[in-house]
Structure formats: C-alpha cells, structure tokens
A and B are shown apart, each in its own frame.
Chain A
C-alpha cells in the first residue's frame, strides 16, 4: 500500500512543489467547468454531432485555430515564466530542472502545437473556398489529421503534471536525451507526441496537394490560383518531403530509449550526429512550412487592402518554389560549430544566404503592390505590414548567422534567440493574427473589433520589440541560450529586465485579443454580405460563414482574382437565374477519426511509460478502426435541392 502511494505521489509529481499543485488544481477546475457546462446546457450531443464527428473543412479549420490559440496561451505562459526568472541576476524561483522543462515545452509547443495547427487551420479555413470546391479531397482523412494532432497535443501537455516534462530542448539532441543521461518518461512524451501529430501532418500535406491538384473550379488554372492557395501547395510539397524524415529521427530515438538499440548512443557504435542531421533535414524546411503560408496570406491581405491586384504574381510563385527548393539544402547552418569543415560550412553558408534573394523579391512585390494603391489600414493589414520590417530584422540577422566564422561567435547565444523569435513571432505569429482578423468573419460571420484590434497590434508589436531587440545585444555580451539563471556583474541585468517588461507587454496584447474575441462574439458587427473587405478571391463570394456545401453552384473562373472579376462584370454568384440547383454530394460525418485517435493516444501513452499492454490495446484498436473503414461503402449523402434553395433563400441569394 505504502509503495503504491509513493509511486502515485511520484507519478503525479505531487512531490514537485506548488507549481505542479497549482497546475493540477487549474486543470481539474477547467475540466470540471467544461463537463459542468456541457451537462448543464445539454451540449454533449451537440458537441459530438457538430464537432467531434465533423468532416467539414470549415469546422475542422475552426477547431485547429482554437487549439492553436490555446497552445499560444500555454506556450506564452512558459515564455513569461522564463522571462520572469531571467529578469534579474540570481533568481531561483524556477529550479534548473524546471527551467529546462519549460524551455523545452515552450519551444516544442510553439512550433509543433501552435504554429503548425494555426497554419493548417488556415489551409482548412481558406483553401477549399478559394479554389471553389465543396471540401478537401479526403474529408475523412482530414478529420483524422486533426484528431491525431489534438490527442498528440493533449499527450504532450499531460507531461507537465504526469511523470515529468521533456527537458532536452525542442531539438532533443542525443546523446543527452538517451536513457543513460535522461531517464524517465519525459523525452518519450516528446518523441511519441511529435510522431503522432507528424502522421497527421503528412496526411494533411497529401490531402491539400490532391485538393489543389484536382478540385479547382473550372477555369482556375494554376496561374490563376490565389496566392495563399499557391503557398499551401508549395508548403504541402515541403511537408511531404520533410516530415517523413522527422518521423524516422524520432522513431529511431524512441527505439533507442524504449528498446535499447544504439542509433544515437555514445557507446555501442551509435552516431549522435546522424540524429542531428536527420532532425535538421526536417527542421529547416519546417521553418518554411510555418512561414510560406504566411507569405501567401500576406499577399492576399496586402492586395485586398490596397485594392489592387498583387504585383508580380509570377515572380511571387517562382520565389516561393525557389525558397522551397533551397530550404532543403541549408540544414547544416544549424550546426556549423560541430566541425563539418570549411568546405561543407561554406557551401551551407552560401546556400542559406541565397534564400534571402527570393525572400527579398517577395518583400519588394508587397511594397509595389501597395504603391499607388488605395490603402486601408484595417487590423489585418496592420499585422501584415508589421511582418515586413520585423521579419526583415529576423531575416537580416539570419544572414549574419549564416556566415560560418561569425556564427562561431554568436551560435546558441541570445543573438540566436532574438533572431528566430523575430522570424517566428515577427513572421508567423503576426501573420497568424493577420489571418485571424482577415478570415474571422468568414469563420464566424462576425467581424472583430477594429479599435481593439489596433490596440492589440500596437501593444503586442511594441512589446515584442522591447522584449526581443535587446536580446541581440545580450547575445553579443556573451549570454548563452538555455541558461536558467546568471550571476550579477556581467551587466546583463538591466537589459534582461527591459526584455522581460516587453514580454509582459506582449501578454497584455494577447489579453486584448482575447477580450476582442469575447467582445465581438457578443457585440461585434455581423457580416451579412459575405464580403466585408471588398475581397478578390472566391472565399468572399459565398456567405459568411459559408454554407455546409460552400457554393450552391460551383463558379466558373475567368481569371486571377476571380471574385473581383465577377463583381466587375456584375455576375451573380449563383449563376444565371434559369440554371437550376442540383443535389450536392457530400461526405458523411464519422466518429471513427476521433475514436481512432483515442487509440493512438493510448498506444502513445503505452510507449511513453513502457506499458506494453496498453500499447498493444491502442495498436489493435487503431487496426480495427482501419479495417472497419475498409468495409465502409456507404459514406456519403446528397443534399436535396429543396434544402439548398432554403439555405440560399435565407441568405438572400436566390
């Protein structure tokens, strides 16, 4: 009995002090709150029918976005905890162990469970509408992708209160993370959760490639596709080439840890560098996976709010393809200092700098798009414009880091931290906010408040610069990354304090955003037209939110900026009056993606704790779900014409 209690106390980390108790308390309160509300308002059935079983890309997109915002909160809290600790020399409110866990979960969550779902959320929200089709090519698979991501994120977050978080950094380099030096479930959580969500991401890549290749509306040739759709296409190709490599890196490391093999160990003939190469062969393309879609949506936003077509469309496309190709030949710049030699380092230094060229092309095209345009500084536009100078700082310091001899000076210092936060926040997060303000009406039928949006933008943007700009200098002053505290006397104290103040200002910006969401849900302006920004692409042709079937009649595309052209020529969206509606073929909802992902979760937990029975149960469950699907022949239905007429009439579109 005593043994069991001891085990449980350790397992649930009750011996780890107040931080864990508080988290336990908050998690229990939040869970009880959710269960309570769902039960009180009898929402369980609604939740299951409308959300958990949905295969509708629009709803899946919304779920991705909600998850991403929650994860931004979790990762942001981690960031603020770290900044609090670093605000002044010799602070010890986080122990070294806790600090390590927190920077690891912060980095991992921000990239894999915040940035990725945010951009994949936008894929779902916008692409099928932009190319004028009724859903993605494989809606059922799309639901699987989402639930795999969701349960992987749950598993990863669980680590904080059950068994301990990973602490090997978001890169999880061996040999440190091998069992010998880092026993316990922590790193297994990282490996398993990333593998599971990686499967979902690969499926998303395939799904959107086929969707864009095969489901474009008639007349939409490749060179008439909206820029965002182009960026999704290119990104999906990168996903397809990069993610399997990550799967292998993580899988092999997990086999090392769970089954004692010697891929990356120091003894037994292991080769830790092989992991580092595999990891970054995925890792560098990954940073383009989270920025290219942002470039795409910025092109949409800037052209919409300049009321001009995008400048240099083909140059934009070519530069994206060039970035995609180059992104696969730069991975060594993450470890110049690991001794590959001057020849190799020079090659990768030059290839990295070369990426600045197509990126520069894009920046100039955005600027020329605005030139002589009728500019409208809505919040979405502010965020997109904010990307330009901030991402520029990130990019230019990136070129500095790409100079191998110089990199020996600031490698893994705060200079690097500042650099990648300028690209990831100044690029991806700003872009995500831009996309949220832009597509919010399409997602929810409500506009976010512009005034709050401006407050949100300015506080966050200024806070961000106060937080991260000084860190370039901290790097030059010798402060290295992943340092849990530092002694007085180096002159770092005041600079760090400024940085921390900036971080909290960003927190304020985030709170304004959340307030904006809540305020707008209640008082926000409804979007009755479906086209609040005088948009150019087809997602603005349908209602906000779009009906289940997206378009009653699939539009015929006559050129770039299809909806703009239709508005110019006064063409109605539902075609000439005499063309009758036809029944629309749609996929059925299914609970299986959800259930299958639960089994994945169980299997994952089995691998985390080496509970093989649980792993086998999960695995068999997954197989059974797949076999059942193989025997499912009747998985779609028709929406009858009367229902379409009713919906279109209600939207005033008959």
Chain B
C-alpha cells in the first residue's frame, strides 16, 4: 500500500506536492474546509448575539449604562493583547511551514500567554463591574453585554485549552501533515476570534463609550 497515507474513505484525488503540508492528505483538506464551514456557522451565531446586543443596548432599566461602565484602559489593553496574539499566531504558522518545530511551539506559547493576558483583563473587568452592582441580572443591556462578550471569552478559553493539547502532540510527533493540520485549524480559529473581537471593540466598547 504505497499510497496508504493519501487514501481517504471517499476517493483518491491526486495531491499537489506544492501545497502546504497541512493539505497533504486528502482527509486533512476535507477537515480544513469543514472547519471553515464551522467558522461560518459561528459567525452567524455571533451575528445573532450582536443583533441582540444592539437591540438591548439602550434597555438599561435604570441601571448603569455603557458610558458609565466601560473602562478605556482595560479594553485597550485587551485589544492590543489579542491583536498581537494574532500576529504571533501567524508567526507560528510561518515557522510550521518552514518545519521548525521548536519555533512553532515557542510562538504558540507566546500566543497562549497573550491570550491569558486578554482573559485575565476580561475576567477582572467583569468582576469589577459585578462589584459595582452591574450584574447579568441587572438589566437587558447587561445581560446582552455579558453574554456577547462572554461567549467570545469562552471561545478564547477553548482556544487556549485546545492548543495546550496540540503542544503535547507536537512534542511527541513533530510536524507531520496531521499535526500541521491541527495547528493550522487552531490558528484560523484564533484569527477568527480576533476578527470577532474587532467587532466587539467597535460595536460594544467604542460605540458604547460614545452613546
């Protein structure tokens, strides 16, 4: 079975050796499209949450408004940390294409650290707000705020846990088409969360500070 590694339960399509490693087995390239579609549905999910947030923004029920609540320094640091982590995540993919396992792991660790910084600031922001009486139960606006931003935050948490598993696999197996595919999927997930954050930054925080 010379071509065992390229077989898939569907059919054999010849694989172009010039494509990046993560596409090298047909099974992998199927999973990559599948994952893009998954991100597509995730985008719809976030869109629904955004729509709900926009409807709820003014419904403060006498409680704190976005203008009173949002802390510019906090959300700026979060934004910088997450945007920068997208860059380091890109560097990890770059090193993966060049086959440098240790560099990949190094950049993943940097990304992970930035992700944790982001999460740390987010959690402390939430704790601070709750301390002021701005809880999920306080008003429609706050419900929508916590759930939209929190859904993004829990996605980031999943990304952090996921990539920890991948580090073990990289250490054990090195860069193979399968591990490359896994790291690649995680990286597009991470970039996607960054893109969602840009919307949260503008729609929730920037706009919320002004109106």
Cross-chain contact B11 with A217 (CB below 8 angstroms) = yes
B102 at the interface (CB under 8 A from A): no
Q: Are A627 and B165 in contact (CB under 8 A)?
A: yes
Q: Is the CB of A269 within 8 A of B141?
A: yes
Selected A-B contacts with CB under 8 Å, 13 pairs: A133-B10, A137-B34, A139-B9, A202-B41, A248-B49, A261-B136, A261-B146, A262-B142, A263-B143, A268-B140, A269-B61, A278-B48, A630-B169
Number of residue pairs A-B, CB distance < 8 angstroms: 143
- Beta-carbon contact of A244 and B44 below 8 Å: yes
Q: Is the CB of A206 within 8 A of B38?
A: yes
Within 8 A of B (CB), among A25-41: none
B18 within 8 A of A: no
Closest CB-CB distance, A274 to chain B, in whole Å?
5
| Contact residues of B between 75 and 106, Cβ < 8 Å to A | none
Which residues of A are found within 8 Å of B162, using beta-carbon distances?
630
Other than A210-B30, A248-B52, A585-B4, give 11 A-B pairs with Cβ distance below 8 A.
Answer: A132-B11, A138-B34, A139-B9, A141-B34, A205-B41, A244-B41, A263-B140, A263-B144, A271-B55, A278-B52, A631-B168
Q: Contact partner of B10 among A134, A260, A262, A268, CB < 8 A?
A: A134
Residues of B within 8 A of A133 (CB): 9-11
Contact, CB under 8 Å: A585 / B7: yes
Q: Which of B120-156 contact A (CB under 8 A)?
A: 136-144, 146-147
Taking beta carbons and an 8 Å cutoff, which residues of B are in contact with A?
A: 1, 4, 7-11, 29-31, 33-34, 37-38, 40-42, 44-45, 48-49, 51-52, 55-56, 59-61, 136-144, 146-147, 161-162, 165-166, 168-169, 173, 178, 182
Of the listed residues B4, B8, B138, B141, the one surrounded by the most CB atoms of chain A closer than 10 A to its CB is: B8
CB-based contact A274/B55 at 8 Å: yes
Query: Contact check: which of A215, A217, A260, A274 meets B56 at CB < 8 Å?
Result: A274
Judge whether A261 and B37 touch: CB under 8 Å.
no
Q: Does A180 contact B (CB under 8 A)?
A: no
A213 to B162, CA, bound (A): 28
| Chain B residue at minimal CB-CB distance from A262 | B140
On chain B, the residues within 8 Å of A260 by CB distance are 136-137
- Once the chains bind, are B30 and A259 in contact (CB under 8 Å)? no
CB pair A247 B11 closer than 8 Å:
no
User: Which residue numbers of A lie inside 8 Å of B, CB to CB?
Assistant: 132-135, 137-139, 141, 202, 205-207, 209-211, 213-215, 217-218, 240-241, 243-245, 247-249, 252, 255-256, 259-263, 265, 267-271, 274, 278, 281, 554, 583-587, 623, 627, 630-631, 633, 636, 638
Q: By the criterion CB–CB under 8 Å, are A214 and B30 in contact?
A: yes
| A261 touching B9 in the complex, CB below 8 Å, given contacts A207-B34, A210-B37, A248-B52 | no
A269: chain B residues at CB < 8 Å are 56, 59-61, 139-141
Q: Determine which of A207, A259, A263 lies in contact with B52 in the assembled complex, contact meaning CB atoms within 8 Å.
A: A263
Complex Cα spacing A50 to B48, Å: 40
Contacts of B31 in A (CB 8 A): 138
- Tell me the nearest residue of chain B to A218, going by C-beta: B11
Q: When A213-B33, A269-B139, A270-B140 are in contact, do A252 and B59 touch as well, CB less than 8 Å?
A: no
Bound Cα distance A5, B35 (Å): 50
A621 to B38, CA, bound (A): 22
Given the interface contacts A241-B44, A627-B165, A631-B169, does A259 sit within 8 Å of B136 by beta carbon?
A: yes
Which single residue of chain B is at the shortest CB-CB distance from A202?
Answer: B41
CA distance A247 to B61 in the complex (A): 26
Please, which residues of chain B bring their CB within 8 A of the CB of A281?
48
Residues from chain B with a CB closer than 8 A to the CB of A248 are: 45, 48-49, 52
Complex Cα distance, B136 from A217, in Å, reads 52
Q: Please give, as numbers and ranges, the residues of chain A lying within 8 Å of B137 by CB-CB distance.
A: 259-262, 268
User: Which residues does chain B contribute within 8 Å of A139, judged by CB atoms?
Assistant: 9
Q: Which residues of A contact B34 (CB under 8 A)?
A: 137-138, 141, 206-207, 210
Q: How far is the CB of B31 from chain A (nearest CB, A)?
A: 7
For the complex, what is the distance from the CA of A137 to the CA of B30, rounded to whole Å? 7
Tell which of B37, B55, B166 touches A209, judged by Cβ atoms closer than 8 Å.
B37
Bound CA span A641–B31, Å: 28
Cα distance A636–B168 when bound, in Å? 22
Complex: A249 Cα to B52 Cα, angstroms: 9
* B contact residues around A215 at 8 Å (CB): 10-11, 30
Give the residues in chain A near B168, CB-CB below 8 Å. 631
C-alpha spacing A274/B143, complex, angstroms = 13
- Taking the nearest CB of chain B, how far is it from the CB of A231, in angstroms? 18
Q: Please state if A267 and B61 are interface contacts (CB–CB under 8 Å).
A: yes
Residue pair A255, B147 in contact (C-beta under 8 Å): yes
A-side contacts of B52, CB under 8 Å = 248, 252, 263, 274, 278
Q: A261-B136, A278-B48, A583-B1 are in contact. Are A214 and B61 (CB under 8 A)?
A: no
Partner of B42, one of A135, A241, A244, A256: A244
CA distance A349 to B161 in the complex (A): 48
Cα-based distance from A215 to B60 in the complex (angstroms) = 51
Tell me the smallest distance from the CB of B68 to a CB of chain A, in Å. Answer: 15
Chain A residue nearest to B168 in the complex (CB): A631
In Å, the complex CA distance between A210 and B28 comes to 12
Complex interface: chain B residues within 8 A of A214 (CB): 10, 29-30, 33
Set of chain B residues within 8 Å of A259, measured between Cβ atoms: 136-137
Assuming the A-B contacts A244-B45, A631-B165, are A271 and B10 also in contact, with contact meaning beta carbons closer than 8 angstroms in the complex?
A: no
Question: In the complex the two chains form, is B140's CB within 8 Å of A240's CB?
Answer: no
Contacts of A633 in B (CB 8 A): 173, 178
Interface contact A638-B1, CB-CB below 8 Å: yes
Q: How far is the CA of A139 from the CA of B27 in the complex (A)?
A: 12
**Chain B residues, Cβ within 8 Å of A209:** 37
Do the beta carbons of B41 and A268 come within 8 Å of each other? no
Nearest residue (CB) in B for A623 is B161
**Residues of A contacting B29 with CB < 8 Å?**
214
Interfacial chain B residues near A623, Cβ < 8 Å: 161
Which residues of the other chain, B, contact A274 by a CB distance below 8 angstroms? 52, 55-56
A252-B48 Cα distance, complex, nearest whole Å? 11
Q: Which residue of B lies closest to A243 (CB)?
A: B41
Partner of B143 from the list A205, A207, A247, A262 (CB cut-off 8 Å) is A262
Per the bound structure, the CA–CA distance linking A267 and B137 in Å amounts to: 11
Q: Which residues of A contact B56 (CB under 8 A)?
A: 263, 269, 271, 274
Report the Cα distance A398→B43, complex, angstroms: 32
| Complex-state Cα separation, A256 to B146, whole angstroms | 13
Contacts of A244 in B (CB 8 A): 41-42, 44-45, 48
Residues of B within 8 Å of A211, CB to CB, are 10
- Tell me if A268 and B45 are in contact (CB < 8 A): no
**Could you tell me the distance in whole angstroms from the C-beta of B69 to the nearest C-beta in chain A?**
15
CB–CB A252/B147 < 8 A: yes
Q: How far is the CA of A127 from the CA of B33 in the complex (A)?
A: 19
Closest to A275 in B: B52
A274 to B55 alpha-carbon distance, docked (Å): 8
A630 touches B165 (CB 8 A): yes
A141 to B143, CA, bound (A): 33
Q: How far is the CB of B1 from chain A (nearest CB, A)?
A: 6
Which residue of the partner chain A has the closest CB to B179? A633
What's the Cα separation between A209 and B173 when bound, in Å?
A: 31
Distance between Cα atoms of A584 and B3 in the complex (Å)? 12
**What are the 8 tightest A-B residue pairs by CB atom distance, in nearest-first order?**
A269-B59, A269-B140, A261-B143, A269-B61, A215-B10, A248-B48, A585-B7, A244-B45
CB pair A585 B169 closer than 8 Å: no
B39 → chain A closest CB, angstroms: 10
- A583 / chain B contacts, CB cutoff of 8 Å: 1
Known: A210-B30, A244-B45, A627-B165. A134 touches B9 (CB 8 A): yes
